[in-house]
Each structure stands twice: as C-alpha cells, then as structure tokens.
Structure 1
Amino acid sequence: MRYTPAVAGWLHEQLGEAITQGRALPGATTAEVTTFESRDRGYVLKLFNQVFFVEEEPDRAIHEATVLDVLGGADLPTPRLVAFDGDGSQCGVPAVLMTRLPGERGVGIQHAAEIVELAARLHGVSPEVPAAIRWGFQRYNQGLEVRPPRWATDVKLWTDVLGVVASDPPMDGWGLIHRDYNSTNFLSSGDRVTGLVDWLSGCRGPFGIDAARLRLDLAIDGESEVASAVTEAFSRSEHDVIDPFWDLVDAVDLLPFYRGFEAVDGWGDPVRRARLEGFIREAVNRLM
C-alpha cells in the first residue's frame, strides 16, 4: 500500500527516513493497519480512516496512544508508542505509529496457561496506570434498545438474560482491562505468546469481561477445546476472574441492536447463533 504524501511526510518527520509504502496487515476492522521496516526495526501504522467508527469515537487514536503510553513501563508484551496524530491534522486521518511485535495472530491450547498469566499481570498493574486512563468501561450497545434476537430458539432464556444484565453489576475485581481480549489480538510463536495488540478499547473496567471476551470469541469460532483449556487454566490459577454475570454481559454485547428504526444484526450464520446460545445457557446454569 502506498501512503499519501501527508502520511509519508509525517512518517519522515517521526523516523527521519523516507517511508512511502507499507504492507497491509489482515484482520483489522476499524482502521487501516500496515507494517514497514525502518533502520532494521519493524513498525505498525494504524490509520483511522473508517468514517463510521471515527464519527462514533473521534478520539480513537488518542485513546489507543494514551493506553500504549501508560503501558510503556509495564511488564507486558505490548507495542511501544512512537507517535500519534490525534485529530488527523497532519496525516489527513487520525493515526498511531507503534513498534511491531514478533509472532502471528492467534493462540492454541498450548498457550492457555500463559494467556491467564498475562491477564493476571495486566489486571495487576500498579493503580497509577489505570488512573492515568480516562476511559471507563461501557457496554457496546449501551443506550441502545436490545431485545431477544428474532432467531432465538429459546426466547425465555434470552428474556431472562436481558433481565440479569440489567441488574447492578458486581463491583469487585475492577482495574485496567484490555476490553477486547480475544484470540485474534494475541500474537504467538511456537508455544509462546509474544504480544497483545489492539489497545484502542483499553480502559478501567471489570476483569471478568476480559475472561468472557476470550472464551466467548473462541466458543463462537468453534475453538471449543481452546476455550475449555482457557477456562480450566483460569480455574486453576489465583486469578480466576470468570464470572457468569460478565459472561452474559459480553454475550448480550454481541446481540442485534436497534439504531433508530433500523435493526443491526450480524448473526446470519445459524452455527454461530447456536454456539452463542450454548455459551449463555452455560453461564445461566452457573449463575443459578
């Protein structure tokens, strides 16, 4: 991908070298993400050029840059912030430049214990770190109307779940969270986890939502063995933050919602629907 003159000029200003193009990285949904080398070091450039997401959260670049900056001194495998253009005044769109970590996206059964240990380190950072981050936990469909999905096979189950998540949440176990702690945001090489990326949702929030997001993501994608290994690793650790309440909150976050009179539903696959219902049924059983 060839960078615009504005982006190339900004990169030259930051790195002191002419960078005119980068290689697109797969998997990004809310930004254009590319990588390149400069003076034998790898970098990742994130350009927030998706109009819908920028309108929803204009400070997305500032958000991720702030989180990366405060994590710079933490014992976590995170990218290091190099520079950012918070309002897009220099690049044409908001941008974040960071170092590139080794490894490929995704994790397996062999990574379960390390994933849980990494969660414990993240959630256990000094209180000064989350205090420096002004963003707090919000539900993805907060303020929007949510109903049992039209494709529900057990409407009563969904109605009960919506009642549970509307109740007061547990207030123990809060601090710094990744918020999108899913398998595609981990980098791994062999048996080792080498990185945790995509920090644009990092915030102060409940630890249980990170455990929920990872296990739900794996379950929906059909990685039931990995999900079970992660659940078992949490249960064996001193950082067992799995909570059926937050499991249900995270599941409801993925429901169809209503923006005005328009229904927004990304659940066309009946197999994934069944996996989602299976996840919430198991959480409800543990809650009872």
Structure 2
Amino acid sequence: MTNHDGAAAVRPLTRAWVSRYLEVGERIVGTEALHGGITAEMRRLTIGTRGGGTRDLVLRSIVDPFYVGHAEDSMGREPGALTLLEGTDVPAPRLVAVDPTAAHCEYPSLLMTHLPGRTVLDDEGLEERVPLLARQLVAIHALRPSPRPWGPGRNPQPRPPKYVTLTTADTVVVPEGADPAAWAAAIDVIRKPAPPYEGRFLHRDFQPGNVLFDVPPARPADARITGVVDWAGTSWGPADLDVAHCSTNLALLHGPEWGPRFADAYEEAGGVLAAAASERLYWQVRDGLACSEEVHLVSRPWREAGRPELTTEAVAERLDAYVTSLMDALG
C-alpha cells in the first residue's frame, strides 16, 4: 500500500470493516491523511478497482476520548443528513457505511464517497467566493426533511435534532487585551433567552473549511462549489445561527468586516434572517463568544492548511475586533 502519511494508516479492524463495503475484486491501495478536522481523523482511501482503475472514499474516525463519548450522536446525525441530501441540489458525499459505536472498528467510523475540489482559505478571490457560499447556505436552509431516523435506535423524526449551544456567560474566555466593556456587554446579550425563530435545516458548521471549490487557475472569478462536507452537527434551528457561524469564521480568517458582509450576501441570495436587529445580534454574538473557548482549536487547522500567520494570538485579536464591532453597531 502506498501510504502518503504515517498517520494515515488504516487500523486492522477498520480496514477489514471497510473491505466489506467494497466491490468484488476491489482493495485499498493507498491512504492519505486529510488535514483540517478538529473532532476526527480524516483519511482519503484510494481503492483499486477490478478493471485496474481507482476510486476514492473518505474515512472519518473519532479517536479523541472526549469526542468518542459523543460519537453515537454525531455519527447518527451525519448518515441521516447524507441520506436526505441524495437527489438534492446540495453537493454532499454519499453514505457508504457507518459504525457509530465501534462495534466493528477500533473507533467510531463513517465511510463515504469522496468529492472533487478543495477548500480555499486564501484572501485572494474572497469577493467572488462569498456570494457562492451565501447561495449554497440558502439552498441548505431551503431543504424540508421528510420523516427518517436521525440516530441509532431512534424512531423516525420529521427533522434532525434541535440545535445545541453549549457556551454560557460563565464559560466565555475574554481574550487578553480585549475591550472589557465591549465583552461585558456581549456576555450580557447571551444571558437573555434565545429569541423566537422559524426552524430551518441547519448544517451547523457551515464555513470555508467545510466547503470544496473548483477554482480555475486562470479564471478565479469562475470558481464554483463542488461539495459541502462534515454534516455531523446537522440540526434544526434558526437560519441566523448558521449565518452567524460562517460570519464568525470569515471574520477570523479574513478580517472582522467580512462577518457582516456575509450576512448581507445571504440576504441578497434570498435568505431570510430575524427581522429585529436585536435578534440578529443575539445569534451573531452567541457564535462569536462560542469561538472564544476554542481559538486554539480553530486556528490550528487553518495553519496546517497554509495560513501560518493565523496564530492563536492573531485569531484572538480578530475575534476581539469582531465582537467589539458587533457591539459598536448596536450603538
């Protein structure tokens, strides 16, 4: 086997499990670690076909003890989402197999098809990509799930589970050197109950690191989205929450001004956000403050993907600027 990365080797039990889902005469002939994930190991598996060609699959394995404890939920949501997305205009992987409780593999694992394209995190071409991201998110929110199981042992439900937000006023981590008054005001925002909303089908981690693009080198303006991946957090909740999450990520990747610009692009694409500015602010602030607890986790895969300047400190500074700008806009 060609192994492009020592960390990419497939463990014996998992290899045997994957082999059960291959066609007669197929075998794993190569593996490659895919960087960028926070909660799981990702590998691209090159499969040798009986006719002498190859095809690719993607293997997700949850190995961190903390996330293993939540694997049955996340590994239950993603198959439901991928099944729903088949036959829609949303480009997503196709589910091949899932072992949510590690009954057959060393760790909870999910096997899916591989999509063409690559993540693009550079500043160059962002002006063209933001409207594409916005239109794609509008299309996701337009989905209307039919009853199907959304997790092991569950009865069919008309939609995925309700969204969860874990950040509280007491868990926010104020960056060093941040404006204390702005952050105190922001924390007060999330002390209030969540505003009412009309439920939508949410990706729950829609951001540039989970969107694949085809960008012609000679014509970057002709970029197109080829896939949306990582549906483990699929939820039911307010469109504002997905928009706020992508806004935060764009603000940290490219500068604080890109957060509001993405929200504007989402509305220009036909998306509907909360009518009241205070309600929009609630979701924007909530997602920004949630990021305060994991700046080091968020910034690491960005550096691995070719943005070495996005140190933990640099990202924390951008987060402070973004949260402060949100509170300034409130007046």
Give the TM-score range, shorter chain. Answer: 0.7 to 0.9
Deviates more, 1:28-37 or 1:58-67: 58-67
- Aligned residues of 1:148 and 1:158 also touching (Cα < 8 A): no
Q: CA deviation at 1:254?
A: 1.7
Matched-pair contact (CA < 8 Å) for 1:146–1:255: no
1:85 aligns with 2:96: no
The verdict on how the C-alpha distance between 1:198 and 1:156 changes in structure 2, with shifts beyond 3 A counting, is same
Unpaired runs of 5+ residues, structure 2, are 1-7, 151-156, 216-222, 275-279, 300-310
Output aligned runs, 1:1-288, within 5 Å: 1-16=8-23, 17-19=26-28, 21-38=30-47, 39=49, 40-106=54-120, 108-128=126-146, 131-141=157-167, 145-147=170-172, 149=174, 151-190=176-215, 191-223=223-255, 227=259, 230-241=262-273, 243-256=280-293, 269-288=312-331
Deviation at 1:240, TM superposition (A): 4.5
Give unmatched runs, 5+ long, in structure 1. Answer: 258-263
Tell me the SS of whatever aligns to 2:232. Answer: coil
1:24 Cα deviation from its structure 2 partner: 0.8
Q: How many residues align?
A: 281
**TM-score normalised over the length of structure 2:** 0.76
Deviates more, 1:8-17 or 1:67-76: 67-76
Secondary structure, counterpart of 1:145 in structure 2: coil
Report the AA paired with residue 323 of structure 2: I
Distance in 2 (CA, whole Å) between partners of 1:97 and 1:210 is 25
Question: Root-mean-square deviation (CA), in Å?
Answer: 2.7
Q: CA deviation at 1:7?
A: 1.3
Cα separation, partners in 2 of 1:154 and 1:223, compared to 1, 3 Å: closer
* Cα distance between partner residues in 1 of 2:136 and 2:296: 33
Query: Alignment partner of 1:105: what SS?
Result: coil
Contact between 1:137 and 1:203, CA under 8 Å: does it hold in 2?
Answer: yes
| Contact 1:127–1:175 under 8 Å retained in 2 | no
Q: C-alpha separation between the residues in 1 aligned to 2:260 and 2:211?
A: 17
